Structure 1
Amino acid sequence: MEPTFEAGGGSRRKKRKKTTYVLLFFALLCGLMLGAYLWIKYVPNWQHQQPDFSGNPKPIFYEGGMLDQPAVGQKESLKLPFDIVKERIDPTLVYEKASESTIITTQNKVVRLRTSQLTGMINEKPFTLKFPLEKANGILYLPIDPLKELYKIELRESPDTGAVLLFKEGETIHWYKTITIPDKPDKTIAMRRDPTIKAPIYADLKQGDSLIVWGEEGEWYRVQQTNGYMGYVRKNQLAADRDEVIPKKEPEPPFVAKKPITGKINMTWEQVVTKNPDTSKIPDMPGLDVVSPTWFHLEDGEGNLKNLADPAYVKWAHDRGYQVWGLFSNGFEQKRTTQALSTYDKRMKMIKQLLAFAQMYSLQGINIDFENVNLKDKQNLVQFVREMAPLMHEQGLVVSMDVTAKSSSEAWSMFYDRKTLIQSLDYMMLMAYDEHWASSPKAGSVASLPWVEKSISDLLKEEQIPPSKLILSIPFYTRVWTETKKNGKTDVSSRAVFMDMPQRIIKEKKLTPVLSPETGQNYIEYTEDGKLNKIWIEDETSVKARIELVKKYDLAGVASWRRGFENPEAWSWISTSLEAPKK
């Protein structure tokens, strides 16, 4: 029996040894895993990596981001890509391929720079550039001299790497410094590629080095050196130093349009088709401030203008205290307008003629009336106004423009970029009429009061037109609508009539007008030769209601289309309503 007992004891000893080995193995494995974890978590990567700009030979940085295209040149010969200037500095910058021209417009200046030429033009006066525009590798580059002069920007170029840091006026740069370690003055601070200690080191920063902080990720700051290199530094290794605000340059004094003494503008258009009116037959117009005769018309696609101006009319107007804002029309001709707006030279040709006419006839302003314009010319029309306004303002001229109410019509409404246009204009005239136009398939008011008010509201709210720049244009005419029944259908036709015509009809036919609540106007209808006639009347009621809208929204004033269509009493209706306190 003893051998059996001894054999059993040996088996148990072997099992105990095996268990011990297993436990030691697992302990060693856990130790290795813990060591690996601690190594991964707490032991930094001391490998260094040379930072670069991803192959960009001369990078441009804005707000801590490297832009797509490089700069060229250095110091005074530094140049920036056109696309970057347009994207980051001035979205209104224009490049005209046909003439290889870059056109810059500011509030008071129009600058034309031509590729490879040292002579530029500011407000059509020559000036000399130190360095020309140039094309390299398919990229157009602009010299920094005119850019720094025209725009409120600051460029900082690193002498070490050539990197360019772009800042705009009013922006804040957050400067930080690496911490100081008194007992280890030679210890460096790692700027790493990524926000982790395992990322390679881009730079060993000295204590007290300055960095720009652009953001943060967890325990790290995203930083940039003055040489342009970007990286990450732990938050506990940086201390806020100072905030630098890029100084604002002295702004150009804005042009202030000369306003009539009355405060609210009271303007009327004078329609001139072939010859000017006999001013001796024009009755008094009490309260009127401005007359706008339709004198200047686009004659062809080259930008030549037809001139119907009359010095005698100007003298008559000035003798009565009226300002004269000559109207410039595109003749509502689409093709001609497209051609004339297509190039800087053609646009400037129109502008120079208008400037010459304004000086020749002692005008106080130009009123732009472009209608029936192709939608594709929307931006060119904006550019024309942007180029026109500084030159007009240089001569002290008021620049205004007529626009229709907002609608879905491309050629009569959508081509106006009202929100952008108003930035250059002194006034915008809302032509709040022709709600129902001459060939409208349905009879209706020329300008119902709810429609007019909505048109005003649309421009103020949706287009952000300042009320101080918006003038409400009102009709001195209405339409007689005739409805004819044929084969169960109603045919509609109309004819425009002066304000007094409905009053004569009322008198002759002994009619009684009724106030139409839908339109806010007096209304009559009558049958003649078996046809139903309808008239929404323009009279004292409608005129005064429109002036109340001017006051309600505190608009700049009122304009009327057109002189000669009105009841003579209309001037007193307007002037007394404008001067009366708001209701």
Structure 2
Amino acid sequence: MTRRNTRRRPSPNSRRRSGSRSRSRRGSRRRPRRRFNPAVFIIALILILGAVFVVQSGEDLESLAHMFSYSNKKADLKAYFDIKGKDDVAIVLGDEYIEKRAKLWDGEYYVDLEVIRNNINPKFYYSKEDGTLKYTTPDTIITSNIGENTWTDSKGGSGEEKFVISKEGDDTLYVALDYVKQYSNFAYEAFTEPNHIQLTAKWDEEAVATIARKTDLRVKGGPKSDVIRKLNKGEDVVLLEEFENWVKVKSADSFIGYIEKKKLKDPRKVTPDPVTDYQEPEYTRIKKDQLINLGFHCIGSEAGNATLTDYLANTKGLNVIAPQWLYIAEADGTVGSIGSADYVKQAHEAGMDVWVVFDDMRNKEGFKLMDLLPYAEKRAKIIKEALAQVTLLGADGLNLDFESIIQEEKSQPFIEFVREMSIACRSQGIVFSIDNYYPIYNKFMNIKEQGIVADYIVLMGYDEHTDGSAEPGPVASIGFVEQGMDLVLQDVDPSKVINAVPFYCRAWKESDGKYNSVVQHMNNVQDFLSTNGISVSWDEETGQNYGEGTSKDGTNYKIWVEDTQSLAKKLEAMKARNLAGVAEWAIGFETSEAWDVIASYTEGQ
């Protein structure tokens, strides 16, 4: 059975009517009313008001964009300065934030002694062994006990401050800045939130500029970096380093950060007014009228004094002789001597001054120099006894030859000893000279400070290579000598500098691919060369005659000879630098021709 579809198909007219009714229904609906959105209104109002503010304040629309594209996050300033407690104070030294700290104790600012010595005044000395802080002037030693507010001096004076002069904390000695200012020219300014101080000890010209438009000082260069603080229009900043779009600056309250270059105007150079509150005392000195020609006399016992007559017979133009006489005999600071008053009398009759050598190479095995120098009482005993010997012998000067100052921890006790020795020598009219290796090898003897307090600095211009050297080489090549003198002259006036030359060299002997050396004195080196069949020729690089060869027994030798040619080369370099004179190690090692070369230097100026 077939089912029929009984659904009636609509006519075209009915479809049109149906469509018409549908449109009519849609058209009759009411459109929904849009609701008021307060958030949109507020944002729009902020933008409008911000634009009005920018225009009225003289800024451009870029500042408006700044509100939305630049970070406004405030930097943690305690973290910025690494503040670790309520008494911790950060230090800005010149234009640099440093790691060393200051302290704020009882309303007084204290700074790490190392910062003071390295940047403000090197003459403060802390003796942990004695529990004292000392300061020396040309004629006085001022002493204060750690943790106290009183001081005494070596002339019998005393005083009391309104604050504790120095305090210990965190295994560090801190000294009150107001005490340091009594002996130093520098400025400091303190700031809070957070605690930091500005220390200024140099007054060099600096670049500054003015803030053209209000801007942010940021921790780093870039718009997303945290903000240290706002910089207002008209503030001056110090320009430290310039980049493409940013500049590293220091603000007036000693925050160091970065600002956009376009926010600056009126760049210029400014020289700060120096602080001159403290009148530096004058370090007077004894200065000879002529160039010094000093011969070291190597003496191992009292019997060695008898060699003076023979040695002087071969010299020419010598005006100072320096015999090795004084040494530390006991651990309490007792000074021993092998000196001779007759020796001094003979030298004086020959027209020479005598500068007594006081060395540290004959101390007994039971003690070391550093068992003595950190203690004020032992330093005083050494100085008193050494100068008593100089006076007793009738000598004219003291030549200090302490060669064991080869570690940093020995530097401060040694230089304090030097300062105190200089006070005693100055008061007694004794010439004070100090022997030094070139700073190429020894940087712990503080030759700059020596150059202030001593009358003469004697440079031991030799031992470029020693028996302990890994490779053979000259005792004193011209490059070594020139470099050493130039380093010293950066810190010491040339009128105080005497350069010592060697009257010896080293013959290097090879054995199984290794070398050891034997000292050859100038007066016997020609015999050595002849005996071993070694011929030499001039080496311009070292400024010496160089030779190598094989002896009859098959031994290989290398040698850089010290002779009149190499000596003349060194004296020429000394003359060019206008030094105070020449010294020789040691008389008795030389040839007679060497004195003619030296005389042409000392008498030709």
Quote the offset at 1:319 in angstroms.
4.1
1:459 aligns with 2:488: no
Matched, 1:547 2:567: no
Aligned to 2:537: 516
Matched AA of 1:459: G
Aligned residue number for residue 281 of structure 2: 252
Instruction: State the 1:330 CA deviation.
Output: 0.6
Identify the residue that residue 378 of structure 2 maps to in structure 1: 346
Deviation larger for 513-522 or 300-309? 513-522
User: For residues 569 and 541 of structure 1, what CA distance do their matches in structure 2 show?
Assistant: 10
Shift of 1:214: 6.5
Of 561-570 and 107-116, more deviation after overlay is shown by 107-116
Could you tell me how far 1:15 is from its partner in structure 2? Answer: 9.7
The aligned amino acid for 2:574 is V
**Residues 111-140 of structure 1: per-residue CA shift (max 9 Å, x gap):** 432125565354675432335536487675
Consecutive unaligned residues of structure 1, counting only runs of 5 or more, are 44-50, 180-189, 408-412
Query: Residues 260 and 289 of structure 1 are in contact (CA less than 8 Å); yes or no, is this contact kept in structure 2?
Result: no
State the distance in 2 between where 1:12 and 1:317 align.
133
- Residues 534-575 of structure 1 deviation map (CA, whole Å, 9 limit, x = unaligned): 876544334323322323454443211112233334322211
Q: Which AA in structure 1 matches 2:160? A: L
SS of structure 1 residue aligned to 2:181: helix
Q: Are 1:153 and 2:186 matched, yes or no?
A: yes
Partner of 2:336: 306
Q: Deviations over 1:484-511 (max 9, x none)?
A: 98xx889967364461x356678xx799
Shift of 1:297: 1.2
Task: Indicate whether 1:35 and 2:45 are aligned.
Answer: yes
Written as runs of structure 1 = structure 2, the 5 A alignment for 1:489-568 is 494=518, 496-497=520-521, 499=523, 501-502=524-525, 514-518=535-539, 520-521=544-545, 538-568=562-592
Q: State the Cα deviation string for residues 302-345 of structure 1 (Å, max 9, x = none).
A: 33321233333334334444333221111166962232334344
Q: State the shift of 1:150 in Å.
A: 0.9
**Is 2:101–2:112's contact at 8 Å kept on the other side of the alignment?**
no
Could you give the per-residue CA deviations for residues 353-379 of structure 1, whole angstroms, max 9, x where no partner exists?
Answer: 334444445554432223355535442
Larger radius of gyration: 2
Matches within 5 A, 1:53-452: 56=86, 68-73=101-106, 82=113, 85=116, 89-90=120-121, 93-105=124-136, 110-117=141-148, 120-122=151-153, 126-130=157-161, 132-133=164-165, 135=167, 142-143=175-176, 146-154=179-187, 167-168=200-201, 170=203, 245-248=273-276, 249-261=278-290, 264-275=291-302, 276-277=305-306, 279-281=308-310, 282-283=312-313, 285-331=315-361, 336-361=368-393, 363-372=395-404, 375=407, 377-379=409-411, 380-393=413-426, 395-404=428-437, 413-414=441-442, 416-417=444-445, 420=448, 423-424=451-452, 425-435=454-464, 437=466, 447=475, 451-452=476-477
Give TM-score scaled by structure 2 length.
Answer: 0.66
Percent identity, aligned pairs only, is 21
CA drift at 1:523 = 6.1
Distance change (3 Å), C-alpha of 1:339 and 1:15: farther
Contact 1:267 1:288 in 2 (8 A): yes
Show the counterpart of 2:74.
Answer: none
TM-score, with length taken from structure 1: 0.68
SS across alignment from 1:328? strand
1:258: Cα distance to partner? 0.5
CA separation in 1, counterparts of 2:560 and 2:578? Answer: 27
Q: Which amino acid aligns with 1:34?
A: A
Does the aligned pair in 2 maintain the 1:79–1:141 contact within 8 Å?
yes
CA contact (8 A) 2:433 2:458 kept: yes
Partner of 2:500: 473
- CA, structure 1 residues 152+271, in 2 after alignment: closer, same or farther (shift >3 Å)? same
How far the C-alpha of 1:85 sits from its partner, in A, is 4.2
- After superposition, the Cα gap between the structure-2 partners of 1:69 and 1:514, relative to the gap in structure 1 and judged at 3 Å, is closer
Is contact 1:169–1:247 with CA below 8 Å preserved after alignment? no
Instruction: Show CA shifts across 1:274-324 (max 9, x none).
Output: 222365553274322322121211224433321233333334334444333
Which one is further off, 287-296 or 297-306?
297-306
Are the counterparts in 2 of residues 482 and 531 from structure 1 also a CA contact under 8 Å? no
Equivalents in 2 of 1:510, 1:157: separation in Å? 75
The residue matched to 1:259 in structure 2 has which SS?
Answer: coil
Listed one character per residue, the Cα deviations across residues 67-119 of structure 1 (whole Å, up to 9, x for unaligned) are 95433345xx8766656645763466443222211233567765432125565
Q: 1:442-469 deviations in whole A, cap 9, x for unaligned?
A: 8x7763xxx5212223324566455825
Q: Distance in 2 between matches of 1:456 and 1:286?
A: 24
Alignment RMSD, CA only? 6.1
3-state SS, counterpart of residue 182 of structure 2? helix
Partner of 2:55: none
Aligned to 1:186: none
Alignment equivalent of 1:573, drawn from 567, 582, 597 = 597
Contact 2:406 2:444 in 1 (8 A): no
Partners of 2:550 and 2:248 lie apart in 1 by 83
Assess, with a 3 A threshold, how the Cα gap between structure 1 residues 374 and 169 changes in structure 2: closer, same or farther.
Answer: closer
Provide the C-alpha distance between the structure 2 equivalents of 1:482 and 1:232, rounded to a whole number of angstroms. Answer: 60
Number of matched residues? 541
- SS of the equivalent of 2:565 reads helix
Q: Which amino acid aligns with 1:287?
A: G
- Cα drift, residue 223 of structure 1: 5.9
- Kindly provide the amino acid, as one letter, of the partner of residue 337 in structure 1: L
* SS of residue in 2 equivalent to 1:151: coil
- How far apart in 1 are the matches of 2:119 and 2:528? 63
SS of residue in 1 equivalent to 2:379? helix
Determine the C-alpha separation between the residues in 2 that align with 1:349 and 1:541: 46
Quote the Cα distance in structure 2 between the aligned partners of 1:378 and 1:294: 23
